Structure 1
């Protein structure tokens, strides 16, 4: 039992073996070895007359009214080696039974297939069509763009064939098609600008469009004619290369729903792929002579060749532009103060180079957005990349479902992202963003137009087809192509090389600075400190001015010594050497009490509230723990509100020592929180109470905590800025 073809199973419909032909011609298949008839269309005798061979008959000189040209053509094709004739039709004009036919003959396996297609146009008219086609081919050579090429060919096919509508489709990455050029009768609705899903041309139909580049449906409302087979054991006839092959009922319904009476398609094939198509529609039946169709087919082949040349030229131009942009970027990065600023200045050209609607540059707490993507969305995507994709060189996605659930509603229409990390230390990202496809396509024509639907429903109408396309591409952007991913990799490599060059210069300068700090400054500072102490001792009793001067010199030299120590520690951390830690059993409560006494002596007038047990044992480095406490208390004193105390609390939670240092102050700006523990972090504005600070205290505090296998965290509770340290005992 033959299965009914529906929209659900049309992808597997065997359209190349329909066993039916269109009624405006007759088909006869011969056994190639004996030239006996193996099958023929049921209308063969009616069209070709009584002298047409019957099933099982061997070709005889009297068949086809003894027409010599028919017999010569059949024998010529049959006697030529199959490799030269299979899939390559030979066409001649013949007259049989008083009717003019285009005879088209080709080999298919063990059979010789002859198609007699009735023709009404005169030879003179066909010659005139050929001349017009030749002129059009000459004009094609002078077109400078793909749009101009398609427009010219649409005009020419419209003139040659007389179809009411001729459209040029250009297929995209997903095989959906845009109508990019159109010529139509003024009474017809325009289709220019519409897009249709890949499912409008199923895979098996797409294959046939590639191997048989021209297809005519002369009368949509005609009843197809069956092939009569002499031997029931014969396999179905492969009609892939037949001009009379009947049409899928689903495609017929689609055409009828649109009010089309006849149609013709001409494939534009580039590098073996269906790149585009010329689609012709007529409101009534229309049979275009075979020679005219072949002229259109040749025209399409010339078009394909020119399009391929222009595509190659465009690709070369894009490669040149990409190389130029890459050179500009590297020059800017090498001469700018930082990579972030250099990339931010080129965000627009970078977005254009990647055909993206937005570009985002992120580094530490800084974010530059180019395009319509919301700042909140850009920041959220970068944060997700920093956590989930930190080890990936290039990140690409074009479907909303590929994003984590919490980002999907936030991203809105933005669902295509290409990201590369250009700085691992400062969490630097370049992010390109694309909108979903349905946001970037304009609906051409009249979307409210009503179409008649057939038994299979509104799917087979232009509006229904477009709706299906919208469903297909919803929540997806145009995918990132291989050239774009390759270009992103090149940019990343260049940025890493530029960063390495800059880091080498920075390392050299830092090494020289450390040498100065470690030797050339520490010794003079020590001498200044000792001289200040001697000055205090040698002054007569009651010389308060001299005492204050000695104390000021000693205090300043001590502060400079601490700053030098912080820089040396930070340098060791950034060079990967780590802090030197010698862990021993110690009493952290006693150490904390001594540290608070020293702080009150160093800064008279300071208020410190301490809550701690009398004793609390742990294993740690006493000097580093004292440094940790000093940094946190100093940070709280500098940043707390004047007149408010610094609150220090120590307690034990299970086997963990917990230290909290709090000061009254507003919450830290959320944009600065991610880099609180970074070295030499940037500030929005100077801290008037800590003008001499380098921003290293929290960075070193975190390193000390980590070296003790602990953690440190910031929070804001009840108007208090709180830093909490947890270290295993």
Structure 2
């Protein structure tokens, strides 16, 4: 039998549940070698269905079972079904197929994964039940579409699933941001206790199980008390069978124990996906064993997909409405700043103020040594202490948290007004900030059982940690938490910072300028970096050249280790040369005189596209260039700016599940040309977004992608040299939008 992993709660997050080495006993499995169709793996329970011992099937061609497994469709054979499956790209079109297994009606489900053809056979439902399911599926779409409110949608979906499955308890289970779950709707048998609004810890569903839920949208455990059937392998193929996409895949012993502790006899789950992530589950429990066949599960999967689409629409609609509202308020704030002479009046004492671009209940604007306060905020001395703490512990120009008292204990006495803060730095030197506040949201959370770890004695006498046995309602009071800051609120604050810095720099004149001594020091430092970088190139070239000469002239006399080390020297020299080149370019941007001429953006972007999308890569990257209004600036710098941004968009559109898509679009408004460079790639955590414009700063999720961390620093320097602005909006794994706004004149 295949080796299995021994799991308990100390290691269940590492349990390889996709290769359990067992299948559920209500069906049987055969694995074939592509091409030869020889059976290389079989479940031990084949004798119950085929009256053939599993070991006798190993290394035999599948065709030897054609008399035992007969397709219900006249005129076709088992091998016909196999050959059709191996040449069909969409296996959903041929699954499942009714067959007779030694005269018993079963469904044949096949898929090919990695180097295996996996054939599974499970019980078949009666034709009358199938007709009923078809009627249910035909009405489910109209029922879901007719739901006026979200609560109505939840109730309709849970009742539909209960009608199809016949399970005694149906729960719609939503994951919160910290990955713990909450029951937000249910449809149960009358005698069952309600679990509505009970919460379950994130540890109940390990991370690898969550990933499988994203791949397998429906999952059945027909009988938690049945003994799973092990798999045996041919001598030539001892590798564990990957059952990621299997319908019979067995269940983790830890999860079985968990279900038994809940007095559950069978379970069935339907994944709910929103924006590519696991939003929640429709969890179905039955007190006794219960099997629902493939067609019933497809009906439930269809309902889950409809519900997921409704979720996508609802959240997209809400997000767009909030985003539009924040953008409108931001634009009004910017207009007030541009028209007025006093930033305080424009941001605090005007019709639209700093509290209109988020859901904060208070804000303090630190400007020119004073605090300007609006709404519910802590006392001045406490705010001063808070900013001192932020300056000491946070080294970027943006910070946000929804649990301030847990990070800054002195804020516990301020929790009623300041459990959440969002801080954006206007000037570190002059200690000028905007800080928004959100109050504490004390709430009680009802958990399904207290979250202690139970221990039990194993057969060898050792103690093991096991799933909790109590699921009785347990109430916990959660303190020192505010409502979380949304991506829209974070993006609005970062954009406001850029607007405010630009306006202040323009209108404050000599008050905002550095004194001559600081300017001279900056110029000297800039020249120093240029000189050092320039002078480093000559010895670096010598190192590389001499190394290459040694490799060429004396390579035959060197052992493999020496060749490897000399190769590493050449690679390191090239990498350092690239870094020096980028630093030189960064320095040149600071020292270069600005030439302002009209730039033909259509022509320039076409050239950039031609350079980046080389022949053969058209299928990998879709680069769409839309509106291309011309800008006025230094042609060389503008070319470098857009080359950097478009190249980054292409480079970081590396999600393996989709084609990389990059779009470039320009718009003219209020004396500015604003270009948007958008991709669908790996995204950026907005909490650290401002760091990417700093020299040599790179985010953790791009460490494996080649780069020096200089390109965006150069881009920002070029934009600022043209009196423009650059900012971004992004979500991890959902793409990034960079905005570049340049004055028309």
Q: Tell me the TM-score range normalised by the shorter chain.
A: 0.5 to 0.7
Shift of residue 97, structure 1, vs aligned partner: 3.4
Q: Secondary structure at the match of 1:140?
A: helix
Q: Which residue does 2:62 correspond to in 1? A: 59
Shift of residue 79, structure 1, vs aligned partner: 4.4
Aligned residues: 504
Task: Verify the 8 A CA contact 2:110 2:117 in the aligned structure 1.
Answer: yes
Shift of residue 61, structure 1, vs aligned partner: 6.5
Shift of residue 324, structure 1, vs aligned partner: 1.9
Q: Which residue does 1:417 correspond to in 2? A: 421
Shift of residue 192, structure 1, vs aligned partner: 2.6
Task: Verify the 8 A CA contact 1:257 1:453 in the aligned structure 2.
Answer: no
The structure-2 alpha-carbon separation of the partners of 1:39 and 1:64, relative to structure 1 and needing over 3 Å to count, comes to farther
Q: Which residue does 1:539 correspond to in 2? A: none
The structure-2 alpha-carbon separation of the partners of 1:220 and 1:316, relative to structure 1 and needing over 3 Å to count, comes to same
Cα distance in structure 2, aligned partners of 1:352 and 1:148: 32
1:133 to 125, 137, 149: 137
Task: Verify the 8 A CA contact 2:329 2:356 in the aligned structure 1.
Answer: no
Cα distance in structure 2, aligned partners of 1:494 and 1:577: 23
Cα distance in structure 2, aligned partners of 1:305 and 1:462: 36
- In the TM superposition, what are the counterparts of 1:413-492 in structure 2 within 5 Å? 416-422=420-426, 428-434=432-438, 439=441, 442-444=444-446, 460=468, 480=485, 482-492=487-497
Q: Secondary structure at the match of 2:89?
A: helix
- In the TM superposition, what are the counterparts of 1:230-379 in structure 2 within 5 Å? 230-231=234-235, 233-330=237-334, 339-340=343-344, 343-344=347-348, 353-356=357-360, 359-363=363-367, 364-366=369-371, 368=373, 370-371=375-376, 377-379=382-384
Q: Secondary structure at the match of 2:278?
A: strand
Q: Does 1:155 align with 2:155?
A: no
Task: Verify the 8 A CA contact 1:29 1:40 in the aligned structure 2.
Answer: yes
- Cα deviations across residues 233-265 of structure 1 (Å, max 9, x unaligned)? 421111111111110111112212222111111
Q: Secondary structure at the match of 2:318?
A: helix
Shift of residue 357, structure 1, vs aligned partner: 6.1
Q: Which residue does 1:34 correspond to in 2? A: 36
Q: Does 1:164 align with 2:168?
A: yes
Structure 1 unaligned residues grouped into runs of 5+: 508-572, 580-729
Task: Verify the 8 A CA contact 2:20 2:249 in the aligned structure 1.
Answer: yes
Q: Which residue does 1:187 correspond to in 2? A: 191
Task: Verify the 8 A CA contact 1:87 1:241 in the aligned structure 2.
Answer: no
Q: Which residue does 2:233 correspond to in 1? A: 229
The structure-2 alpha-carbon separation of the partners of 1:342 and 1:179, relative to structure 1 and needing over 3 Å to count, comes to farther
- In the TM superposition, what are the counterparts of 1:523-602 in structure 2 within 5 Å? none
Cα distance in structure 1, aligned partners of 2:142 and 2:28: 36
Q: Which residue does 1:105 correspond to in 2? A: 110
Task: Verify the 8 A CA contact 1:217 1:264 in the aligned structure 2.
Answer: yes
The structure-2 alpha-carbon separation of the partners of 1:195 and 1:62, relative to structure 1 and needing over 3 Å to count, comes to closer
CA RMSD, Structure 1 to Structure 2 (Å) = 4.3
The structure-2 alpha-carbon separation of the partners of 1:269 and 1:444, relative to structure 1 and needing over 3 Å to count, comes to same
Cα distance in structure 2, aligned partners of 1:347 and 1:284: 64
Q: Secondary structure at the match of 1:295?
A: helix
The structure-2 alpha-carbon separation of the partners of 1:224 and 1:2, relative to structure 1 and needing over 3 Å to count, comes to closer
Q: Which residue does 1:75 correspond to in 2? A: 80
Q: Does 1:215 align with 2:219?
A: yes
Shift of residue 368, structure 1, vs aligned partner: 2.8
Shift of residue 130, structure 1, vs aligned partner: 2.3
Q: Does 1:380 align with 2:385?
A: yes
Cα distance in structure 1, aligned partners of 2:83 and 2:70: 17
- Cα deviations across residues 471-517 of structure 1 (Å, max 9, x unaligned)? xx99777765554332111122333445456646xx8xxxxxxxxxx
Task: Verify the 8 A CA contact 1:51 1:63 in the aligned structure 2.
Answer: no
Shift of residue 101, structure 1, vs aligned partner: 1.7
Cα distance in structure 2, aligned partners of 1:358 and 1:31: 66
Task: Verify the 8 A CA contact 2:442 2:479 in the aligned structure 1.
Answer: no
Shift of residue 219, structure 1, vs aligned partner: 1.2
TM-score, normalised to structure 1, is 0.59
Q: Secondary structure at the match of 1:324?
A: helix
Q: Does 1:96 align with 2:101?
A: yes
Q: Does 1:13 align with 2:21?
A: no
TM-score, normalised to structure 2, is 0.58
- Cα deviations across residues 249-293 of structure 1 (Å, max 9, x unaligned)? 111122122221111111123443223221111122111121011
Cα distance in structure 1, aligned partners of 2:466 and 2:71: 52
Shift of residue 409, structure 1, vs aligned partner: 5.2
Task: Verify the 8 A CA contact 2:99 2:108 in the aligned structure 1.
Answer: yes
The structure-2 alpha-carbon separation of the partners of 1:16 and 1:324, relative to structure 1 and needing over 3 Å to count, comes to same
Shift of residue 388, structure 1, vs aligned partner: 4.0
Cα distance in structure 1, aligned partners of 2:264 and 2:356: 41
Shift of residue 371, structure 1, vs aligned partner: 4.6
Cα distance in structure 2, aligned partners of 1:281 and 1:134: 25
Cα distance in structure 1, aligned partners of 2:295 and 2:512: 78
